[in-house]
Structure 1
Amino acid sequence: MNPNKRSTAVDAIRGLSLLGILMANMLIFQYGMFGKDELHYFQPSTLDQISHDMLKVFVEGSFMPIFTFLFGYSMIKMRESLINKGLKYGRSFFRRSVLLIVLGLLHSIFIWEGDILLFYGAIGLFLVLFVKRKVKTIMIWGVLLLTLVSLFGYGSVEPVAGETERMESYVKQSIEVYGSGTYSEILNFRSTEEMPIDLPDWLMLLVILIAPLMSAPMFLFGMVAAKRGRFLHPSMEIKLYLRWALLVPVGLGLKTAAVMLGATHSWSGVFTMLGGPLLALGYLYLFASLYAFSSQQSIVIRAFEAVGRMSLTNYLSQSVVCVLIFYGFGLGWFGKLGVLQGTLLAVLIYSVLAAGSLLWLKRFRSGPVERLLRMGTYWSWSGRAKPKEAAPVAAVPAAEFPGDGPPAT
């Protein structure tokens, strides 16, 4: 078994996660970062309310963690590949993280405020501390952090005086600016308008410190999966996938309880923070089992694989397409479409991007943004890590080379 081979199952799972991410992000594209949880300002129908709750249970907070899991997975596979070529991985990791941070900044400033690339680049620098750790050590840290993060969700937060009025003012302004504003007006609103949530400085600092820990468990679980060689031979791991897929009803049960209890209930946060990652793991392994049973020639499977191979390009493309649909400098549909309609639109956009990805990969090995990232990561025009050249045989006595393996390629 080649531990460094590319896993098409991972590509497909990553592609599936992008569909769920787009469906969740559609709420932000349609209603804004704060408006998505304040639908009453948009005169929602009963169908909108039901669809919103369904997205909270089945989608929101449970597809981004899959992407996070696979980011941790890819870090280990990248390290293994570089070591196999006789290269050090530290510089490549650092360059990739910096490039993601820069790309994330540009994305969040000039396209859309809901960027995740900046965070991934930043936490990638922190995760380097774990890449050489043993599987057991990483697993313990992952479970410990997941438990702590879930407990942080306990308790209810009462609105600060004046916060409701600030929220109403902010959301109503966002409806006007995002729905009919020009590109420059929207940029100005995002950069200058005061946030509606007024947190004390100490609490804001605590939130900043805790934020990386909230996603760290899924990164670490992905590292564990990579070190154990998961997803390289799906047909041989079906029983394992099916066992872990049992987390689906557990995660759904916790998230359903959180929605039914309401955001103000003391245990709601715990159920949400624990249910989201558990459902993500269940989804991940459920899809892996379906992938193992399916035909590799299936157009649906190949479409998921293609989107996954071009995940960065597709993620940025989703942002460009959606802001052109919902913002004032485009079609101006902000707050007008409806939750269910927005979800169906997400499926349509994803389908178009999947078809485009299939066509693109017929001619090229990777997506355009992926190619640029690889060029910067490996400091190579080819976008590939260059293996070290072996020392000339004549320079070392032949007796020192018993049983040499094949040269690095």
Structure 2
Amino acid sequence: MSQSGSPVADDLPVARPVDASERVVLLDALRGFALWGVFVSNSLMWLSGRAFMPREAASALDAPLLEQVIGAIYQLFVTQKFISIFSFLFGLGFALQFTRAESRGVSAAPLYRRRLLMLFGIGLAHALLLWTGDILHTYAMVGFLLMAFRARSNRTVLFWALGLVTVMPFLVPAAIRYTPILLHGAEAAAEAAKASQARDMALRADTLVALSSESFWTAQVGNARFFLENLGGGFRRVLWMSLILGRFLLGLLAGRLLVLQDVERHRALLRRILGWGLSVGLVLNGGGLLLFRLRKAGVLEWDPKGPWMMIVNGFQEPGYIAMGAAYVAAFALLFQRERWSRWLGVLSPVGRMALTNYLMQSAVSIWIYDGWGLGFIGKLPPSRIVVICCVIFAAQVVLSRLWLARFRFGPAEWLWRSLTYGRVQPMRRLAGDGGVPGVSAP
């Protein structure tokens, strides 16, 4: 870090990156765990091309019994749970940064705004140049909304968090369905919805053709076009950003209450979260999965655009949050046991380099799936995709540990910090730093 030339300036408190001694190993290990689940979700639905495929083609890949079992496990235990944890940790990291800045007598707000702007730029580049499913630019935008809550009371934060994750999943889909009917009439609204669906299917088909091309340029132009075409998103974008903000706020509240920074003091609370989270999550998500399966099998005849389907979908989000909270509680409680701490601690380096590893996952995956690479897009069943994810993630665990034994940050983290602070951050670890340090939210 650059030195000030003024003795007076040197005595002033300044914003700086978090020291290794200030980091919480549990949080980075948990982030590494979440990153694995996010990678599996991204690969199964998007990176492998499944989201762009016709329903019949995707169903053919899912037909064998093994694939059906894996699909059910994914839907019940993986989908949206790990992105919930990842978002929760973003909010918790926000709380930590502002608390630490206040303890040093400095304002974290100006620095955090620059941090979010740099994250938005990295995310936009990621979406346009690598993979359309980027979440970073959305996190940055919602991060500015999160800042509005930095001085609000815990009760207000909890009120908004619960409202966003329980009310918005019902309110926004209702607005999507009924607002056009009220404005234009049922018949015109139905025609508009049909036309919108046709445009979306055509765009997805064109994107799949582009990604299947042997030309890297064609594939990436198709990727960028899909991202730009969906950049607005309308009500659906509002819903997605609302849900992310709700998860951020839950993390902010947990960070203020030191739930994961002082697990021993909150052991009883975490046990209750584990029990209630699993119960509520299994009932809501398991019940939803059962109803969807019965409808697919023809046992239940529900209009996919009718009110009952909208209600069932609305209950899924609280289920995701409950199950994700249970995972967090279980992870934190297990981490207090010495043997489990050693095993789960191997995820700490990959969690500390979460940004680098997230971008690396995109780069490696488009090479595996896109036509200019190995060309597996739209060809692999879920079981093989999961195996590929686990192999890549295992390699990242090893590489992250080797990298952090020599360097203070991952490459992307170093770039992010350097851009945020407006000066090049020292990259190499000092001789006296020892091994890989404990870590916390970036």
What interval of TM-score do these two structures reach, taking the shorter chain for normalisation?
Answer: 0.7 to 0.9
- 1:260-271 residue pairs with structure 2 within 5 A? 260-262=290-292, 264=304, 265-271=309-315
Return the offset for 1:73.
0.6
Structure 1 residue 322 and structure 2 residue 370: aligned?
A: no
Partner of 1:223: 252
Task: Structure 1 unaligned segments of length 5 or more: list them.
Answer: 385-409
User: C-alpha distance in 2, partners of 1:383/1:219?
Assistant: 30
Return the offset for 1:102.
0.3
Return the offset for 1:208.
3.3
Alignment check: 8 A CA contact 1:183 1:329 kept: yes
Structure 1 residue 367 and structure 2 residue 410: aligned?
A: yes
- Select 2:100's aligned residue among 63, 81, 84: 81
Alignment check: 8 A CA contact 2:274 2:329 kept: yes
- 1:21-100 residue pairs with structure 2 within 5 A? 21-27=38-44, 28-35=46-53, 38=55, 40-41=57-58, 43-44=60-61, 45-46=63-64, 47-100=66-119
Return the offset for 1:162.
5.3
- 1:200-279 residue pairs with structure 2 within 5 A? 205-246=234-275, 247-262=277-292, 264=304, 265-279=309-323
Equivalent pairs counted in the alignment come to 374
Return the offset for 1:214.
1.6
Return the offset for 1:122.
0.9
Partner of 2:209: 176
Letter in 1 for 2:108: Y
Return the offset for 1:164.
6.4
Q: TM-score, normalised by structure 2?
A: 0.77
- Select 1:141's aligned residue among 160, 166, 179: 160
Structure 1 residue 124 and structure 2 residue 124: aligned?
A: no
More moved, 321-330 vs 135-144: 135-144
Partner of 2:25: 8
More moved, 9-18 vs 242-251: 242-251
Q: TM-score, normalised by structure 1?
A: 0.83
Partner of 1:394: none
Alignment check: 8 A CA contact 1:376 1:383 kept: no
Partner of 2:335: 291
- Select 2:219's aligned residue among 186, 197, 210: 186
User: C-alpha distance in 2, partners of 1:372/1:105?
Assistant: 15
Partner of 1:104: 123
More moved, 8-17 vs 179-188: 179-188
Alignment check: 8 A CA contact 2:288 2:313 kept: yes
- Select 1:18's aligned residue among 22, 30, 35: 35
Return the offset for 1:217.
1.3
- After superposition, what is the alpha-carbon deviation per residue over 1:88-137, rounded to whole angstroms, capped at 9, x for unaligned? 21211111000010000000000001100001111111111111222222
Letter in 1 for 2:247: M
Return the offset for 1:13.
0.8
Structure 1 residues 224, 323: CA separation in 2 closer, same or farther (over 3 Å shift)?
same
Pairwise CA RMSD of aligned residues?
Answer: 2.8
User: C-alpha distance in 1, partners of 2:143/2:228?
Assistant: 28
Task: Structure 2 unaligned segments of length 5 or more: list them.
Answer: 1-20, 178-189, 296-303, 428-442
User: C-alpha distance in 1, partners of 2:393/2:101?
Assistant: 33
Partner of 1:304: 347
Structure 1 residues 381, 164: CA separation in 2 closer, same or farther (over 3 Å shift)?
closer
Alignment check: 8 A CA contact 2:172 2:236 kept: no
- After superposition, what is the alpha-carbon deviation per residue over 1:30-59, rounded to whole angstroms, capped at 9, x for unaligned? 125444x93645622233344223212211
Structure 1 residues 148, 164: CA separation in 2 closer, same or farther (over 3 Å shift)?
closer
Identity of aligned residues (%): 26
SS of the residue 1:104 aligns to: helix
